[in-house]
Amino acid sequence: MAESHLQSPLISASQFFEIWLHFDADGSGYLEGMELQSLVQELQRARKKAGLLAHVLPTEENFLLLFRCQQLKSCEEFMKTWRKYDTDHSGFIETEELKNFLKDLLEKANKTVDDAKLAEYTDLMLKLFDSNNDGKLELTEMARLLPVQENFLLKFQGVKMCGKEFNKAFELYDQDGNGYIDEHELDALLKDLCEKNKQDLDINSIPNYKKSIMALSDGGKLYRTDLALILSAGDN
């Protein structure tokens, strides 16, 4: 059934979800970065073959591509977008924040939807990206929208620390003890991480890592909770 939707003139949100489930071959409830990219590319190829516009969803329902193609031109842009919509700095985008994010995105594309449609879109985003089903999206869950080549967060998944280890590292690199890490202190931390994790991290990419991570900062001040989004696994 999912295959029959690929070349349809219109694909509804529910049909897109059906296609998504078809590509989630292992039943994990989510697609990793490369899997998501392959899904989008295959859908685009199928629709081009049918002589249709290369959109995953019809005009009024293509917010996923709008986000990926217009908002997320780089990982730095993703971090800025995250910070904008994680208004309470909780480390999550909750339902109301997600609604505001989608509404703003659609308005930027000169599209207006009613409250019912906005609620439908919000629910679909949660179904697609809320891998632990807690009703809110974490940074790493939202990051699956990033193009794989831009997704440095995937690389940092393998070097995350337990809570205790992270706190110890933060205090070590917060050399002046002012409660936040600045750009120079982050540079030292990243260099050490790259040296210890050469298989996961590329030392030549430190300028890009640093630029993206500092996009989470408050005026150049990277506080513990912000850096924890990247480097802490969250346990003790």
Judge if 122 and 156 occupy the same domain: no
The C-alpha atoms of residue 26 and residue 46 are separated, in whole angstroms, by: 23
**236 found inside a domain:** no
Predicted local confidence at residue 35, as pLDDT: 64
pLDDT at residue 120 tops 50: yes
Helix (H, G, I), strand (E, B) or coil at 121: helix
The helix-helix angle for 224-231 and 163-173 (nearest 10°) equals 130
- The domain that holds 172 is classified in CATH as 1.10.238.10
Are 136 and 24 in contact, with CB atoms under 8 Å apart? no
Tell whether the model's pLDDT for residue 57 goes beyond 50.
no
Residue 58 has pLDDT above 90, yes or no: no
| Pair (131, 163) in one structural domain | no
Q: Does residue 79 lie in a domain region?
A: no
Question: How many C-beta atoms surround the C-beta of residue 18 within 10 A?
Answer: 15
Residue range 188-234, pLDDT digits in tens: 999 999 999 988 898 999 998 999 899 888 889 999 988 998 999 87
What does each C-alpha distance from 34 to 18, 69, 153 come to in angstroms?
19, 16, 13
Domain that holds residue 24: 1-58
The mean per-residue pLDDT over the stretch 39-43 comes to 68
Mean pLDDT over each residue of the chain, to the nearest integer: 77
